[in-house]
Chain A
Amino acid sequence: MQWEKVMGLEVHLQLATQSKIFSSSATTFGAAANSQTNPLDVALPGTLPVLNHSAVTQAIVFGLGIGADIGRVSRFDRKNYFYPDLPKGYQISQFFQPIVKEGIFDVPMEDGSLFPVRILRAHLEEDAGKSVHDAIPGHTGIDLNRAGTPLLEVVTEPDFRTATQVVAYLKALHALVTYLGISDGNMSEGSMRCDVNLSLRPKGESEYGTRTELKNINSFRFIERAIQIEADRQQDLLDSGDTVTQETRLFDPDKDETRAMRSKEVANDYRYFPDPDLLPIVIDDDTIDQIRASLPELPTAKRARYISDLGLGDYDANLLTQDRATAEFFEATCTICNNPKAAANWIVGELSAALNRVGNTINDCAIRPDGLAALITRIDDGTLSSKMAKTVFDALWAGESDVDRIILDKGLKQVSDAGALEAIVDELIAANSAQVDQYRAADASKQKKLIGFFVGQAMKASKGQANPQLLNQLLKEKLSAS
């Protein structure tokens, strides 16, 4: 039987606030265990949560970013369960009235089309701490630094049918939140965590099958694999007449398998109820208008503008808008050199390749937009051949910053002086009469091959600095002259 995958996503985004959602403790990643805690984070008796309003603003920014309805009155609820890393014995979340309601998020696909994903809701909640199993021999430690970190949980409708769509959505979401500056989207540090709800149904069927929830897949790399493995597992069960059990499963990249965490049937009754310690969040039109006015240009709009105004292709436009830093790098480069296509080629090509080789992001890149723009300018004015440009690029990458200095130091100046080149060409023609005769006797298609000999000789004579276009043009003129 032909099976179709049906998937919905729950993504937890860590918001980029300075302090926790209900306490004044810092949210810096990687601090010494329990150094970022105060009496509230430890849930000492009598402590009370006080809402950090910048978390609310960031949630609204997100909602406006995906064109969603903002809940004019939202509130916090307590989600009750016991776990050692959950100090209060309940998590403060938004269950009944989330701050971000329905919206549609258009995800750009590689073929240039847009894939609309229905966002069901996005709500604010606090993160839990974490259990540390290797710090104290024979015991489990608890680190509450992360407890109370603000999260925005973004829940989609079951709109995904392929892993490619899922990955495209996550990349677009990552781009969006980094653009908006509301999360660093760093998956390896847990700033973006993804749960996939997956079920199979016979192709053409409209009813959903029984789903499993794949928890905490923390890298783009693993998502496609995890989905593949879980879909295969479900398909094997269904093909052999078994049923899928609704449960939470964990992807183990080392063993390349998914395994059950806990069955939904025995899952907690979370006993949600409104948290009496916090007032409802009431948001008026003015607040929304102010926040809307402060939004930066979003990736989808940028992408469209790159294609229509700057003449870029879909592929380049997609890559350049995938994160805000890259787009800003690109735009800064264009502003200086005024050659968007060249800037796009360099960033998507050489620069990305170099960054990938060392595993850096564009933020940690030695080459800055002014350097790249200077390089492009020197290509455009004929100073550098593309081969020389690569040499300059390598020097920039190695940490040098002044393009003209590099050209001077490396003696890379291209000979574009027609008089100097003419002398070289005349000398060549005089010294190679046999080849000249052969060229003149040949037809046009053969001439194209034969001219390579003269180009090579001329380049040699100019120590590689002859401007290739100018040289070609001169050779053609002189060879066909008599």
Chain B
Amino acid sequence: MAKAVNTLAALSQQLRTGSVSSRELTEDSLLRIARLNPALNAVITSCEDRALAAAAQADKALASGDVSPLLGIPMLHKDIFCTRDVRTTCASKMLAEFIPPYSATVVNRLETAGMISLGKCNMDEFAMGSSNETSFFGAARNPWDTARVPGGSSGGSAAAVAAGFATLATGTDTGGSIRQPAALCGITGLKPSYGRVSRYGMIAFASSMDQAGPMARTAEDCALVLSAMAGSDALDSTCSDQPVPNYAETLEQSISGLRIGVPKEFFSHHLDAAVADAIDRAIKELEQAGATIVDVSLPSTDLGVSTYYVIAPAEASANLSRYDGVRYGYRCENPADLEDLYTRSRSEGFGPEVKRRILVGTFTLSAASYDQYFMKAQQVRRVIANEYDTVLDNVDVIAGPSAPNTAFVLNDQSKSITDMYMEDVFTIGANLAGLPAISVPAGLVNGLPVGMQLIGRRFDEARLLNVAHQYQKRTDWHTLSPDLGGLV
């Protein structure tokens, strides 16, 4: 274990004082990726030339006095964001050769803010998974223990930040895909409110829950990046036109007197005892900072997972219909006819977890099961969202664990599919309800990171970041880095 190299905020300072150049940072990052990625497999595609060219541009802008906070800082994108002229695979054989002619809004905004894109991070195929093991490009590894998973689906992003490839990676979170890997890799990951960040150019998994967010070392870094990522987008009708505050400005507010709700259902039999202890201590820390801890209840928490696994696959089954071998993407060899083209392109192009979810979704939407499954799940979703809203009428923030366990070992045959789905039991609620939530490092159990989750009111990311930042001022879990000496 070593102290963290740097934060985005610190790099930003150094760039502006001229003590380091964007080119140096970019070269350092590229070097680190080249050295460590063979062991971690956190990056699918790196773009050295583009990154260096962009860094040269950034250095020019810095020299001419541009003080934009993100200018010149290297970062990575989850390979779910379309990047113009750069291969975008979604970690699937289906898109292994896909080069989009346009960039996602998130990519454009961070590029416009001057950030340097180093490449694309590994992930679960089409963001379907909680371990990164479903990637067509092989699992990413947890830098804290390469025999273990980094979590998922944004596992490559979490591993890359934890391993110091960059101070920032983008992620997406449909059921916990930012927060759970952030927890398992000991970094900070924010899932904004549904509609806070544009989904345009972000390859869809479950459109009513997908949301992009920053994964970084600190809440402060997340605040800087979210200010640039968020905001209305004419290309995404579900993106909110609520004004975007400067999240960095409210970080230093005192949390004294703030009401923090702790749902008893988050401390159920699903939760590992040692993780529970770490979370208890983290919540005590918030109390010592002046917050009032309130016992609350989210009685439908356990229904979240089954609700999610009806709605998300249903939406996915339609979202993934476009991968049919006709216009782009994987096409089978020598199709005999149209039926054969469809069947084999999709059978060969998708991995087992993706196929499982397409089948589940196709089933739950079929005329015979629509009322029983899809409609019912929508109703339960409403109940769950109402429970969160009711609790948040009474408290400012909800606190609890991000994941039931620390990182588990790769290829764990004892872990059933439903065990894997239970990884998201504490995170899914925020997706079903469209609420913002953040995972912050909150301890180590047997040398592996634990994440505390904070869930806030809709569009109140400022409060979440404020609480997370105040917590990080009192603790140093977020400054810890895994020892990677043995990997080189």
**Max count, chain A CB within 10 A of own CB: residue among B234, B317, B322, B338:** B322
A276/B322 in contact, CB under 8 A:
no
Nearest CB on A from B306, distance (A): 18
Digit string of A268-306 for contact with B (CB within 8 Å is 1, else 0)? 010111001111000000000000000000000000000
Which residue of A39, A43, A88, A271 contacts B101 across the interface (Cβ within 8 Å)?
A39
Nearest B residue (CB) for A279: B237
Say if the beta carbon of A397 comes within 8 Å of chain B.
no
Contact of B100 among A44, A51, A84, A89 (CB under 8 A): A44
B366 contacts partner chain A, Cβ-Cβ < 8 Å: yes
**B: number of interface residues (CB 8 Å):** 43
In B205-237, which residues have CB < 8 Å from any A CB? Answer: 206-208, 234-237
- Supposing A44-B100, A48-B237, A279-B238 touch, asked if A82 and B324 sit within 8 A by C-beta, the answer is yes
| Contacts between the two chains (Cβ within 8 Å), count | 100
Q: Is A45 an interface residue (CB 8 A)?
A: yes
In the complex, the answer to whether B88 meets A276 with C-beta atoms within 8 Å is no
Chain B residues positioned under 8 Å from A49 (CB to CB): 237
Contacts of A272 in B (CB 8 A): 365
> How far, in whole Å, are A90 and B204 apart by their CA atoms in the complex?
14
The A interface is mostly helix, strand or loop, or mixed, namely: loop
Are B366 and A50 in contact (CB-based, < 8 A)?
no
Q: Which residue of B lies closest to A46 (CB)?
A: B201
Q: Is the CB of A80 within 8 A of B204?
A: no
Write out the residue numbers on chain A whose beta carbons fall within 8 Å of the beta carbon of B95: 45
Q: Are B200 and A47 in contact (CB under 8 A)?
A: yes
- Cα of A42 to Cα of B95 in the assembled complex, Å: 15
Q: Which residues of B contact A142 (CB under 8 A)?
A: 326-327
Q: Which residues of A contact B362 (CB under 8 A)?
A: 271
A88 pairs with B207, CB closer than 8 A:
no
CA distance A31 to B208 in the complex (A): 36
Partner of A82, one of B100, B321, B367: B321
Task: Check if B318 sits within 8 Å of A80, measured CB to CB.
Answer: yes
Which residues on the B side are within 8 Å of A80 (C-beta)?
A: 317-318, 321, 365
B237 touches A50 (CB 8 A): yes
- Find out whether the CB atom of A84 lies under 8 angstroms from the CB atom of B90: no
Residue on B with the closest CB to A39?
B102
A78 interfacial contact with B, CB 8 Å? yes
CB proximity to B under 8 Å, residues A397-438: none
| C-alpha spacing A43/B322, complex, angstroms | 7
CB distance from A75 to the nearest CB of B (A): 12
Nearest chain B CB to A305's CB is how many angstroms away?
43
Nearest B residue to A271, CB-CB: B365
What chain B residues lie within 8 Å of A78 (beta carbons)?
A: 318
B202 beta carbon closer than 8 Å to chain A? yes
CA distance A11 to B95 in the complex (A): 39
Given contacts A89-B318, A276-B315, contact A46 B104 (CB under 8 A): yes
Residues of A within 8 A of B234 (CB): 50
Indicate if B98 sits at the interface (CB-CB under 8 A). yes
Give A78's nearest chain B residue, CB to CB.
Answer: B318
Known A-B contacts A46-B203, A276-B315; the reply to A269 vs B235 at CB < 8 A is: no
Residues of A within 8 A of B204 (CB): 45-46, 277
Residues of B within 8 A of A277 (CB): 204, 207, 237-238
Q: Which of B339-379 contact A (CB under 8 A)?
A: 342, 362, 365-367, 370, 374
> Looking across the interface, which residue of chain A has its beta carbon closest to that of B103?
A46
Q: Which residues of B contact A276 (CB under 8 A)?
A: 206-208, 238, 315
Give the complex CA separation of A90 and B323 in angstroms.
Answer: 12
Which A-chain residue is minimally distant from B82 (CB atoms)?
Answer: A46
Which residues 2-59 in A have Cβ within 8 Å of B in the complex?
39, 42-51
List CB contacts (< 8 Å) of A116-143 with chain B. 142
> Is there an interface contact between A84 and B326, defined as CB atoms closer than 8 Å?
yes
Set of chain A residues within 8 Å of B463, measured between Cβ atoms: none
Whether A271 lies near B366 (C-beta < 8 A) is yes
Interface pair A90/B321, CB less than 8 Å apart:
yes
Q: Are A48 and B365 in contact (CB under 8 A)?
A: no
CB pair A90–B318 under 8 Å, yes or no, is yes
Inter-chain contact A82/B322, CB cutoff 8 Å: no
- B207 / chain A contacts, CB cutoff of 8 Å: 276-277
Assess the A82–B342 pair: CB atoms within 8 A: yes
CA distance A277 to B88 in the complex (A): 21
Least CB distance from A78 to B in Å reads 5
A87 at the interface (CB under 8 A from B): yes
- Which single residue of chain B is at the shortest CB-CB distance from A140? B338
A90 to B315, CA, bound (A): 11
Given contacts A45-B204, A46-B82, A276-B207, contact A87 B342 (CB under 8 A): no
Chain B residues, Cβ within 8 Å of A48: 199-200, 235-238
* A84 touching B338 in the complex, CB below 8 Å, given contacts A46-B201, A46-B204: yes
Closest to B341 in A: A84
Cα distance, A56 to B175, chains bound together (Å): 34
Q: Which of B100, B338, B365 contacts A45 (CB 8 A)?
A: B100
Question: Which residues on the B side are within 8 Å of A273 (C-beta)?
Answer: 314-315, 318, 365, 370, 374
Q: How far is the CA of A278 from the CA of B318 in the complex (A)?
A: 14
Chain B nearest Cβ from A35, distance in angstroms: 16
* Closest A residue, CB atoms, query B321: A89
- A90 neighbours in B (Cβ, 8 Å): 318, 321
CA distance A276 to B204 in the complex (A): 11
Chain A residues, CB < 8 A from B200: 46-48
Q: How far is the CA of A355 from the CA of B286 in the complex (A)?
A: 85
Report the Cα distance A48→B102, complex, angstroms.
Answer: 13
Give the Cβ gap from A267 to chain B, nearest Cβ, in Å. 11
1/0 per position for A81-100, CB-CB distance to B under 8 A?
01010011110000000000
Please state if B237 and A45 are interface contacts (CB–CB under 8 Å): no
Q: Which residue of A lies closest to B195 (CB)?
A: A279
A78 CA to B317 CA, complexed, in Å: 11
A-B contact pairs, 22 of them (CB 8 A): A42-B327, A42-B328, A45-B82, A45-B90, A45-B98, A45-B100, A46-B199, A47-B200, A48-B199, A50-B234, A50-B235, A50-B237, A80-B321, A80-B365, A82-B324, A84-B338, A88-B318, A88-B321, A273-B318, A273-B365, A276-B206, A276-B208
4 other A-B residue contacts (CB within 8 Å) besides A48-B238, A80-B318, A276-B238: A43-B327, A45-B95, A84-B326, A88-B318
- Top 5 A-B pairs ranked by shortest CB distance? A89-B321, A276-B208, A271-B365, A276-B207, A46-B201
